[in-house]
Every structure is written in C-alpha cells, then in structure tokens.
Copies of this chain bind each other. A is one copy, B any other.
Amino acid sequence: MNTTINYLELLKNNQLKVTPQRSVILEQINKFGHIDIDTLYMYVKKQFPNISLATLYKNINAMLEKTILKEVKIAGIKTKYELTKAQHIHTICNKCGAVEDLFIDTNTISEQIKSETNFIADECDMNFFGVCKNCQ
C-alpha cells in the first residue's frame, strides 16, 4: 500500500551524492508525509545519533533547490517538508492537527484567475482548515 520510492535514483538524478544520511532523511519524510525539522531530526537521530542539525538543514536546503522536496508553510504551525509529488492540496484539522494530501484539480481556478486578471499561474499552494472526518 505504500508507494516504493527509489531514493537512490532520486538523488542521483539530481546530481546529489547518495549518502546514508540522505536516504534516511528521505525515508522519514516519506513515512510522515509532512514533517517539521525538529521531528525529523529526532527520527533521523535514531539511525544517526551523531547527525547534526546543520547537516539536516544543509540537506533539506539542497533538496529544496533540486525540488526533490517542497516547503509546506501553513499559518499557525511550524514549516513542514514533503516529497515533491503531483499537484495536490492540504487539509489541516483544527482539532487533531493532521495534515493530509488531497489530489484535486486546481487548473480550473488557475484559468479563472487568468481570465479575470491576466495573472498566469503555473503553480499553487492550497490549505484548507477545518475538522477532519475522524474528529467530527
């Protein structure tokens, strides 16, 4: 049920050396879906007790630049990171805090924006706040 991702190829294809630290970082981000730096640090430390926060930041930044990762900035909570995947939006539950992906079409709105304002959008972030199924 979990998508298998080839971290090795992902790194190689982006001219980043494959190190065990990087593999674990990607593994953990994928496991959590969305994770903030401190939680990630905590989990990566379980496999690399000596890894430094600086290394984590450096790697995160390198992968952000290569667009392997994406920054998820959400009002009210710490910035999280996710693997870059198909265009999707986020739902954030105000009760339990869960952040979920939802793969829905966003092009319709982009086109509406273009016709109304001439702004040509090629990307978007959408965050919906409310109450998730489980918390209702």
Contact = CB atoms under 8 A, between A and B. Distances in A.
A119 B91 contact: yes
Question: How many identical chains are in the complex?
Answer: 2
Interface in A106-130: 109-110, 112-113, 116-130
A11 to B, nearest CB: 22
B116 A136 contact: no
A12 B56 CA distance: 46
A127 B113 CA distance: 11
Interface residues of A, number: 36
A100 B70 CA distance: 23
A133 B119 contact: yes
A129 B120 contact: no
Interface of A: 70-76, 79, 91, 93, 100, 102, 104, 109-110, 112-113, 116-133, 136
